[in-house]
Amino acid sequence: MVFPKAKVPDVLQLYHSGCSGGHLGVKRILLKIRERFYWVHCRDDVEDWCRKCTSCAAVKGLQIRSRSALKSYNVGAPLERIAIDVAGPFLESESGNKYFMVVMDYFTKCFTKTDGPANV
């Protein structure tokens, strides 16, 4: 069915934000709309609608960035390669420490924790 351009916002509202919508994103909304409607520049209109949606923008802003791939290291002996990390701040201990340092050996996978200073 060829759809009049004046009704496009109504269809976009229904399929994006309405009961059958759910802020599904451009690809899914396009699939749903194309099952029943057609108009010139449909993809552009859907992309523009999704880009301007304040609810989608709020959720996208909260998404966690994807992490890079983990690396594998070939290690031949203990203490050949170690990892060191500082964690905190935590509640201050009786000795005044808020941080601790963790050291891990890549070969044995053994680790140790040491208290750190109140300020790092």
Q: Is pLDDT above 90 for 110?
A: yes
Predicted TM-score of the model (pTM):
0.47
Tokens of 13: 């509202």
Q: Which of 3-12, 44-53, 57-66, 92-101 has the lowest mean pLDDT?
A: 57-66
Q: Is pLDDT above 80 for 3?
A: no
DSSP 22-78: -S--HHHHHHHHHTT-B-TTHHHHHHHHHHH-HHHHHHHHHPPPPPPPP------ST
Sheet holding 111-115, edge to edge: 82-87, 100-105, 111-115
| Interval 25-32 mean pLDDT | 87
The per-residue pLDDT of the chain, averaged, comes to 83
What is the pLDDT at residue 24?
80
| Interval 108-115 mean pLDDT | 89
Tokens of 10: 């109504």
Tokens of 109: 């996978």
% of the chain beyond a pLDDT of 90 = 18
User: How far is the C-alpha of 100 from the C-alpha of 4, rounded, in Å?
Assistant: 65
| Interval 4-26 mean pLDDT | 81
What is the pLDDT at residue 77?
94
Q: Is pLDDT above 90 for 93?
A: no
